[in-house]
Structure 1
Amino acid sequence: ADLAALRDDADKLLEIHMKSTNPSGNDSQNERQQSDSNTDSIFEFEPALEKSGAAAEPLTRTAEPPKTYPLGLVLKACPEIADYAVDGIGNWRDFMITAAQVRGYLGVSPSAYEDACHVMGQEIAAVVIACILQRAQHIDSAGGYLRVLTEKARAGQFSVGPMLMAALRANGATAKMTG
């Protein structure tokens, strides 16, 4: 019952965030990258994301669209998040719902996560939560850490890439590529 309530909360947060980040409700999400930096179009092979509206544009120092990573790569770097997925993680929507649930387990407040989603975008915020989960034993305050990263992202001083690559290295996932 507790897990069902958490999932409902996560679904509500995602729905609220989706409405606030994509008020136009544009259904043509599988077009090539547009000038509005709509991150959905990057995931041509993730059809479940087409209607998610996950289009929050993070603040960066350049006008480039936010960098996103293949879901498979993220799951290799952060495999522990899959343990929390009710029906597994088969697409970005599953991943984001699971990350929203994990947020609660890590002690990250709904407001801290919502702020991260607004600043970084849903996918990146979910990747950050997965990375935090991977290193939870080394992090004293997951919520405080997320807030610091959100502020850095707001100032254009945070990219999830190095965090994700560090997680890959920590899990030995790059060993076959380096040697």
Structure 2
Amino acid sequence: MEYTPISPFKRRITHDHLRVIETPEASLPGKPINKWELLRELSKAQAAFGITERDLTVLQGLLSFFPHDALEHGAKMVVFPSNKAICDRLNGMPCSTMRRYLARLVDAGLFLRRDSPNGKRYSRKHGDERIAFGFDLTPLYARAEEIARAAEAVRETEERVRRLREIVSLMRRDLAALVEFGEEMQPGLGLWDRMRDAAALTARALRRKLSPDELEQYRCELEALLDEARTTIDGHETEELVTSDAQDERHHQNTNKESIDSESHLGKAKPVLVARDGKPRNAEECAVEPDTRRIPKIPLQLVVSGCPSLKTFYQGEIRHWHQLFDAACHVRPAMGIGIDVWEDAQCAMGPEQASIALAAMLERFTEIRSPGGYLRALAKKALAGEFSSTPMVMALIGRRNAA
């Protein structure tokens, strides 16, 4: 015969004591749970339960009095150490301090007091039955899943904060680099001073601990500034488009069928890039030419409108030159163009010009028998100073308007 008391020994009863003391059988986990793993999970989720590291230290001491490593259903989970034994286990913690932490753990619902008639903690056997009065760890066992979910939520938040800090740091670095580059391209703009100040303030803010909302706000602000900087830089170098370029390109279009056929045999050959002086040049030598990697003097919006097929195969936005280059790299394997040919074209034309050429080739893909050979031929023309991507785009627009 057992009875579970609800009143504490020599303390006033409260509404908390009137709650159901016995834990329903259905709420208990069905498997053993390692008490130290459970304590580690609770340590990670301590803020969700309103406890501190000192509270956990006292709980660790209580768990050390439980003889088994696993808490499991059906086991007697009442520990009954004296206050002196608990304080000794806690490296001599004052008894008054220990009792205060015990009360906090009880209020947090992590264990219950099972007070004996005289307030002492002890265990007594009646035949095969054992009765114990002390601290009941059953609530801790019953809340194991809740503790695990809270700990996982904390880990997810920490990972989100870590990732956001990483992104904000990288965006701040990119903004500082774009400011330096933009001042060379367009000196004297007040925009660059404002962006430099924003990058400096962000670097200062990253020195302290920021909440996820604060980091998200910095990310949004930096994203807007980066977009503004790229738009200012990309939109700077444009030129007046003349109709003579389009006419020249349309003339080449009429003879393109024969040109494409004659270049098809280049598909298996390793490209040998020829410089203006007539000497062979490899990709590494060509890459050091500073004037071959400039931004094209054609509006990017005109390229995108003249080559709409690129958007069919690339779902991302194309608002800046680096996004056009990403789209070209994405489409290039599907067009059957080898990586060596693509790298040689970038070396000869610059990445932006090569991306425009590939986008224009995609519009006429059914007419080109050897895309790799055709791109090699364009690269040779670029090295000889005889290639411009503007006529290719204008010819496509003119042919579409004529149709």
Q: Same fold (TM over 0.5)?
A: yes
The answer to whether the aligner puts 1:77 opposite 2:306 as a matched pair is yes
The answer to whether the aligner puts 1:29 opposite 2:145 as a matched pair is no
Q: Could you say which residue in structure 2 is the equivalent of 1:9?
A: none
Q: Deviations over 1:114-156 (max 9, x none)?
A: 1111110111000000000000011111110000000011111
- Corresponding residue to 1:157 among 386, 396, 401: 386
Q: Could you say which residue in structure 1 is the equivalent of 2:337?
A: 108
How many positions carry a matched residue from both structures?
Answer: 132
The answer to whether the aligner puts 1:170 opposite 2:322 as a matched pair is no
Q: Could you say which residue in structure 2 is the equivalent of 1:4?
A: none
Q: Aligned partners of 1:46 and 1:95: how far apart in 2?
A: 12
Q: What pairs up with 1:15-164 in 2 under 5 angstroms?
A: 28-30=180-182, 31-32=184-185, 44-46=232-234, 57-58=291-292, 67-164=296-393
Q: Could you say which residue in structure 2 is the equivalent of 1:51?
A: none
Q: Aligned partners of 1:136 and 1:72: how far apart in 2?
A: 21
Letter of the 1:110 counterpart: I
What's the offset of the Cα at 1:58? 2.3
Task: Evaluate the alpha carbon distance shift between residue 109 and residue 115 of structure 1 in structure 2; reply closer, same or farther with a 3 A threshold.
Answer: same
Q: Deviations over 1:81-102 (max 9, x none)?
A: 0112232323222211110111
Please state whether the residue corresponding to 1:28 is helix, strand or coil: helix
Please state whether the residue corresponding to 1:57 is helix, strand or coil: helix
Q: Aligned partners of 1:70 and 1:92: how far apart in 2?
A: 10
Q: Aligned partners of 1:132 and 1:100: how far apart in 2?
A: 14
Letter of the 1:121 counterpart: G
- Root mean square deviation of aligned Cα: 3.1
Q: Aligned partners of 1:67 and 1:92: how far apart in 2?
A: 9
* TM-score, length-scaled by structure 2: 0.30
Q: Aligned partners of 2:370 and 2:232: how far apart in 1?
A: 36
Letter of the 1:75 counterpart: V
Where does the alignment leave 5 or more consecutive residues of structure 2 unmatched? 1-176, 188-228, 236-288
Q: Aligned partners of 1:89 and 1:27: how far apart in 2?
A: 22
Q: Aligned partners of 1:149 and 1:83: how far apart in 2?
A: 24
Is the 1:78–1:130 contact (alpha carbons within 8 Å) kept by the matching residues of 2?
A: yes
Is the 2:338–2:372 contact (alpha carbons within 8 Å) kept by the matching residues of 1?
A: yes
Letter of the 1:44 counterpart: T
More strand by share: 2
* TM-score, length-scaled by structure 1: 0.63
Structure number with greater Rg is 2
Task: Evaluate the alpha carbon distance shift between residue 132 and residue 56 of structure 1 in structure 2; reply closer, same or farther with a 3 A threshold.
Answer: farther
Q: Aligned partners of 1:45 and 1:33: how far apart in 2?
A: 8
Q: Which has the higher contact order (CA 8 A, sep 6+)?
A: 1
